[in-house]
Amino acid sequence: MRLKAIRADDSIHRVALFGRLDVQGVNDIQYEFLQETTVPPKSTIVDLSGVSYVASLGMGMLLGAAKHLERRGAKMVLLNPTPLVRKALETSCLHHVIPIADEETAGLELLR
């Protein structure tokens, strides 16, 4: 599992995840992910197009960061998940808590 900070500006973080968000993947990147998305707390777009699988632990990592941001007045949007990952997110109803967008412009609108 790997994380790449795409770019950040004064109001929005952008990060991309690559690999599998299973136990090993979450263990590999959880600290870096939380640092990148919540310090300082800014609205965040998380690109999931490079994630091939997400387990409940991965969803928990995303939810924890999103809740942390929400308590500080910021939001998180998940961008362009693969069909398998989208199905897992929708089955778990995580998309009701963290919106999903298929394009960055739509994601930016959801953050406003």
pLDDT in tens, 52-100: 999 999 999 999 999 999 999 999 999 999 999 999 999 999 999 999 9
74 DSSP β-pair partners: none
- As a whole number, mean pLDDT of residues 9-33 equals 94
- Least Cα distance to 46 among 17, 88, 69 occurs for 17
pLDDT of residue 71: 96
Residue 13 has pLDDT above 80, yes or no: yes
Residue type, 108: L
CATH number for the domain spanning 44: value is 3.30.750.24
Query: Residue 12 sits in which domain range?
Result: 2-111
In the structure encoding, which two tokens stand for residue 104, read together? Answer: 């960055």
Indicate the pLDDT class of residue 3, thresholds 50, 70 and 90: very high
Q: For 5-9, 26-30, 33-37, which range has the lowest pLDDT when averaged over its residues?
A: 5-9
pLDDT of residue 54: 98
pTM given for the model: 0.95
- As a whole number, mean pLDDT of residues 12-24 equals 96
How many domains, in total, are found in the chain?
1
| Residues 71 and 78: beta-carbon distance below 8 Å | no
Q: How far is CA 72 from the centre of its chain?
A: 17
